[in-house]
Every structure is written in C-alpha cells, then in structure tokens.
Chains A and B, each alone.
Chain A
Amino acid sequence: MTNLKTGYLLRSRPPSEKFVDICFKNLVLIMASMVAIVLISILLVVFWGSLDSMGRYGLNFLITSNWNPVEDQYGAFTAIYGTLVTSLLALLIAVPLGVGTAIFITENIIPEKARNVIGLMVELLAAIPSVVLGLWAIFILEPIIRPFLQFLHNDFGWIPLFSTEPLGPGIAPAILILVVMILPIITAISRDSLNQVPMKLRQAAYGVGTTRWGAIFNVILPAAISGIAGGVMLALGRAMGETMAVTMIIGNSNVFSWSLLAPGNTISAMLANQFGEADVGQLSSLMYAAFVLMILTLLVNIVAQWFVKKMSLRY
C-alpha cells in the first residue's frame, strides 16, 4: 500500500522471509541446546553404565584396592589415589613456576619483545599433543631423571613415598609430565588476570615508594588472586583428566603402593588401557571409575568458574 502523503511504499514482510527467520532461530536454538544435551547424556551414559557395579560394590569401590578381572573383584582405590596424588603434586610444582612465569612476563622486568617470545613459547607448549609428550617422557625424560629418583630412594628410602626402587615407569615421571602439561594453562590464565589489574593500582603502589616485589605481593597479586585461583582449579581439572601422557609413563599397575617411585595408575589411564578389551563386569566397574572421575572434574571445574566469575565482578 502506498502512503499518500510521502509516497513511500510500505512493504510488509513476505511470509517466506518470516518463515526463514523463524526456522533459523529455532535451528540455532537447537544447536545451542546440543551443549546441554551432550553434557547431560554424557552423565547419563556413564551413570547408566556403572549402575551394575555401583549396586554390587557401593562405596566400598572407592576405598578397596583389589582390581582383579579374573576373580571379578573390583576396587578403584589405587587409581583414585594415583589420580589425586599425581594431579595435586603436579599442581604443587606447577603453580609457583606458572605464576612466577606469568609475573615475569607481565611486570616490566625485561623488554616487551622478550616477554612476548616467552609467552608465545609457553602457549605453543600447550599445543603439543599429549601423546607426543608421553613418547618424549618414555624415551627422554624418564632416563634423565632416573638417577635423581635413585638418589631419592637411596637417601630417603625410609620415607614411605620413596620406599621402592625406581625401575622405569612410575608415578614420579607422570607427575613431571603433568607439570609440563598444566604449566601453560596456569601461566596463560595468570597472565590474563595480572594484565587485567588496572595500571592505576601499580602506579599508586610505586608512587608511595614500594619496591617492585612489594607492589607485586601486596597489591597486584591480591587483586588478581581470584582469576589465578580459577586458573589453578582449571589446571587441576585438566591434570585429573589427562590421559595419554600419564598412561604411557605411569606403569599401569593395579597393585597399590604409597611410593611415588613405584608404578601406579590413574582413573583415566585405567580407562585407556582396559576399556577396549573389557568384558561386561569389568566394563561396568570401569564406567563406575569414569563416573567418579567425571564427578571430580565437574566439581573442580564448577569451583573454577565460580572463582573466575568472582574476579569479573571486581572491576
């Protein structure tokens, strides 16, 4: 219809255009829902698969360490201990290294070009596939650190953690390769949160006459701490779920030992090793272990997100 006064033609939208619009909106809505669908079905599939084993072993599964497919007896304590001890000790080493590196490349200690090179290299380290790091760990890292582990055993063997002879694959090399894998995450996220600290805070600190590290410890780190804590939690989640490099170097022993020098197992390594050729009963127990891993990483990730959210509210 023509507007008589102005002469403009007012066009109403043709039905075909409306139809395309509505279809497109619903299509992308369905695609967005895929995230939720996949996440919930992962939980359901793993939970469903583990029902049988849950019914049979209950919570005893978590605290017994007898994993015996021949007698059809399963307890995952060895793997759970391995998962927790490798990821926590890796975190203990990686946090100071990662946060220290992040401080080194955000605060004005060396020229910007050199800082960018270090930052780039750490980020590229994150890109190296874990199976390649595993191969490197088997043939290069483990032979190099074995004399040191031998020294730990010889001189500190009375401590239960070093009570066994290092014979090759074991928990200690797995911890080191995990450090290599989570270091880039901690460094990248710490760097981002340090960069977000307003320049004014730094200038104010320097203005009242503090030294560089006085400013870092008393002003900059406290301001960035929730972001860094979020990154550390994310790294913990990654370390718990990391599979390939750990599987290749940890030795995959189902026999429990407190020692870090002995071969051990983690939940993900156990899955990688046994899932393909498991029979029905073992499959259900493996699913149960996967469920435990899933819950652990979910909790850690949700806490991480909570930390990150807290940070974004501050400024």
Chain B
Amino acid sequence: MPYPDIIRSPEGIPNLHYKTWSKQNLSSRFLSATAGIFALISVLPLLAVLIYILIKGIGGINLALFTELPPPPGLEGGGIGNAIIGSIVVTIIAGCIAIPVGVGGGIYLAEYSNGRGFSQFIRFGANVLAGVPSIIAGVFVYGIIVSTRLIFGATFSAIAGGIALSVLMLPTVIKTTDEGLKLVSDDLRRAAFGVGASRFVTVSQITLPTAFAPIATGVVLSIARASGETAPLIFTALFSPFWPEGIFEPIATLSVLIYNFSALPYEAQIELAWSASFILVFFVLLLNLSARWLGRLTKG
C-alpha cells in the first residue's frame, strides 16, 4: 500500500473530499487571510489620506482661495491664487521641454535604432534617469542654471523650476513613447513604405497617430507626477508671496506652498496648506484616472 494515510471506503475508493481541518488546508487558509490583511493595510493609507484631506481641505474651498494672495503671517483669510497659477505655469514649461524631446527620443529608439549599442545605452540611461532622486534634479539645475545665471541672468525663476521638472518627466515620456511605438504592427510600416512614403511621413502620418493613446497615457502620467513634485522646485523656482511676475522671476507653486506653510506656526497658513493639498490631490488623481481611461481606449 503506497499511501497508507489515505482514508478509503470499504470498496477501496480513496476519499478525495476537501479536508477542512487538515493541517495544510488550515495553514493555507491562514496564509490567505494574512495576505488579505496585508492588502487591507496597504489600502488603508490611501483612504486615510483622502479622508483627512477631504475633511481638512474642503472647508477652506471658496472663491477667495482661487483669487487672493496668501495672507501675511498672523493674519486670517486670503487664498493661494498665485500658487495655483504658478503650478500651472511651471508644469507647462516642463511639458513644453520634456514632451517634444521625450517623444522625439522615443521615436528614435523605436523607429530608427537597431536595438544595440547606442540605443541600448539610451534605454538603460532612461531607466537610470528615472531612478535619480528628484532633489538631485534640483541640485543639478541649481548648479547649471541658477548659480550661473545662464538664462537671461535669471537666478531663481519659473523657467529654472520648469527645467528641473522636465528632467524628471523626460524618462517617463521616452519610455512610454518607445513602448507605444513598438506595439504598432510592422505591417503598417511596410505598407506605408510600399506605397512610397518616406520615413518621416511614415512616422508622422502612420505610426505616431496609431500609437497616440499609449503615448498620451504616458504623457498625462508624467504631467501628474511633475505637478506634485516639490523637491526640485525648492531652490530653483523658490517661492513668492506675490502674483507671478514672469517666467524669469521666482514663482510660487502649490507644492512648495504646502511645504513652506506646514512649518509655520500660524493656523491660517496651515489651513491654506490643507486646501492646497486638496486641490493638488484632486488634480493629480483626476489626471491619473484620465490616463487610465486613455489607456483603456487602446485595449478596446
């Protein structure tokens, strides 16, 4: 008898029913429950953060928040209008640099390279650049632009902040463009070449439009990430308690405002920081969900 521990019926047929209380089934259920608890713990922070931001932030949402400047220390009221505009300006500057360069670089990797040597190095470099801490991007832009007054003699400025953010956006845009274009079937390219289209026409008229959805998803995700970044802005865009005075001047942004105001001992400023968090999180989650929706378009 090879398996003496198997319970058999009088006819000699083994009992194959699920044994609820056997040691291995018990431990398996215990582990499943543990994994479930871990999943619950993982989800908890999101719920906690969202609920607290909703409670703390929504009370401060009114018209003045969008149209007024932050109050001087110790006074009540005021808004964060300058920081909202500043965040939009800096993110647009970053997008204007990172999106064309990133999409172009992605086109090179997917359409022109042979997948060896140089392009392999660029792909590797994009992954490494994606892992560079965001504060280092700030240090880099400080060293190369702010301290040298490279751009029209501007020191701390919106444009320096935008460049720092674009360094962070670049790898995401390149990688998603590269991967999006690689998904386009080679038949389409051959068909375009077959009817006599040049390389440029094939890329601009055939492959790029076909890969639009995945590329747009990546771009929207990178904008979402950039708009919430703080570290690269602290000593590039700096902060300003006034309305934006142009892109060569220091500018307030929502994220730096949250950072600065969180350290102040005034209740009014901390209220504004919570309201700014509410607006920032709302905006970032909206972008993320729309990127997800864009991504679903590709599958359909």
By a beta-carbon cutoff of 8 Å, the part of chain A in contact with chain B is 11, 13, 17-18, 20-21, 24-25, 27-36, 38-39, 41-42, 45-46, 48-49, 96-98, 100-101, 103-105, 109-110, 118, 120-125, 127-136, 138-140, 180, 183, 187, 211-214, 216, 234, 237-238, 240-244, 247-248, 268, 271-272, 275-276, 286-287, 290, 293-294, 297-298, 300-302, 304-305
Contact = CB atoms under 8 A, between A and B. Distances in A.
Contacts of A45: 139-140, 143-144
Contacts of A29: 108, 112
A35 B28 contact: no
User: Which of A20, A129, A241, A242 has the most chain B CB atoms closer than 10 A to its own CB?
Assistant: A129
Contacts of B122: 32-33, 35-36
Contact of A268 (B56, B100, B231, B259): B231
A82 B261 CA distance: 25
Interface string B242-265: 000000000000010011001100
A213 B284 contact: no
B96 to A, nearest CB: 14
Contacts of B105: 28, 31-35
Contacts of A34: 101, 105, 170
User: Which of A24, A120, A214, A297 has the most chain B CB atoms closer than 10 A to its own CB?
Assistant: A24
B158 interface: no
Interface residues of B, number: 89
27 contacts: A25-B108, A31-B104, A32-B122, A36-B122, A39-B129, A42-B137, A45-B139, A45-B143, A46-B136, A100-B38, A123-B288, A125-B42, A128-B49, A128-B228, A129-B229, A134-B262, A135-B277, A139-B270, A180-B45, A214-B24, A237-B131, A238-B131, A244-B231, A244-B259, A272-B135, A293-B133, A297-B132
A183 B280 contact: no
B285 interface: yes
Given A35-B105, A96-B38, A305-B127, A124 B28 contact: no
A175 B291 CA distance: 30
B43 A118 contact: yes
A217 to B, nearest CB: 9
Contacts of B49: 125, 128, 132-133, 136
A102 to B, nearest CB: 9
Nearest to B277: A132
B276 to A, nearest CB: 9
Given A36-B122, A100-B35, A237-B131, 16 more contacts: A17-B198, A28-B107, A35-B174, A42-B132, A97-B41, A100-B38, A101-B42, A109-B32, A124-B46, A127-B288, A131-B230, A131-B277, A183-B42, A241-B136, A243-B134, A275-B142
